[in-house]
Amino acid sequence: MHAENPAGALYVVATPIGNSADVTRRAVEVLSNVDAVVCEERKNGARLLKELGLEKPLIELNEHNESSMTQDILVLLMQGQSLALISDCGTPVFSDPGRQLLVLLAEMNIRVVPVPGASSLIAAISVCPFDLGQFQFAGFLPPKTEQRQSVLSRLSRADQPIILMDTPYRLGKLLLEVQQAFGKNQRVCLACDLTLPGEKIYLGSVEEVIRQINNRKAEFILILDRPRRKQFGRL
């Protein structure tokens, strides 16, 4: 699977977000043929390969070593190896490590090939009844409370629906912060543990959803309908 030029190629491979049956045939083919797999965490990368019946060298690339490992991966590609980049789950780079590597490969004119598949963001959008012809993806909020409040206050004046993510243990905190910044009647769609047996889609006012989740911790995507303060013309 080497490119025509002397350098290899990096395949950015989406993997399941929960249900292992969601891996694509193309993803399996690519993982079968590359020289090595660049993974976020070795344990999760090894588990995926074992489920697929594959054995490949694993190279860890995560938030702790991204700056140093990027150069090492570049060397392998320049030597003609083809590599697959995966994250712990879903589509790599999007809110996961790998951006620095892509920037460097673009500068070096090394081929990067997307291998699309499962994405928690797209999965949540596909079942959300809000008008999402246009939306603002705000992603992960800063960890500090004061900074989070500032960002949410700004977002509460947005003209479009807003999509937020955070770690499972911050789900309850984020909903309370949204209620404070947007008002208790703000409509939300909360997609929890998508594709897993405990999958649940909550829909209603943020106040209602807070009651329904009952301090649940889950992987999630939170979609806010166009802020009600804008909808009803209030500042």
Which strand (E) or helix (H) includes residue 207? helix 206-213
DSSP, collapsed to helix, strand or coil, labels residue 189 as strand
CA-to-CA distance for 127 and 190, rounded, in angstroms?
Answer: 10
Dump pLDDT digits (tens) for 71-129.
999 999 999 999 999 999 999 998 788 999 999 999 999 999 999 999 999 999 999 99
Spatial distance between the Cα atoms of 100 and 115, rounded to a whole number of angstroms:
19
Nearest Cα to 9, choosing from 1, 21, 17?
1
Confidence of residue 4 (pLDDT cuts 50, 70, 90): very low
Which domains are assigned to the chain? 10-118 (3.40.1010.10), 121-231 (3.30.950.10)
In the numeric block, the tokens 């209030």 are attached to: 234
Sorting pLDDT into bands at 50, 70 and 90, what band is 7? Answer: confident
- Judge contact between 121 and 94, C-beta under 8 A: yes
The reported pTM is 0.88
37: left (phi over 0), alpha (psi -120 to 50) or beta: beta
pLDDT digits (tens, 9 = 90+) for 19-65: 999 999 999 999 999 999 999 999 999 999 999 999 999 999 998 89
Instruction: Residue 151: name the closest of 124, 177, 190 by CA.
Output: 177
- Please tell me what DSSP assigns to residue 157: T
Q: Are strands 162-165 and 220-224 parallel, antiparallel or unpaired?
A: antiparallel
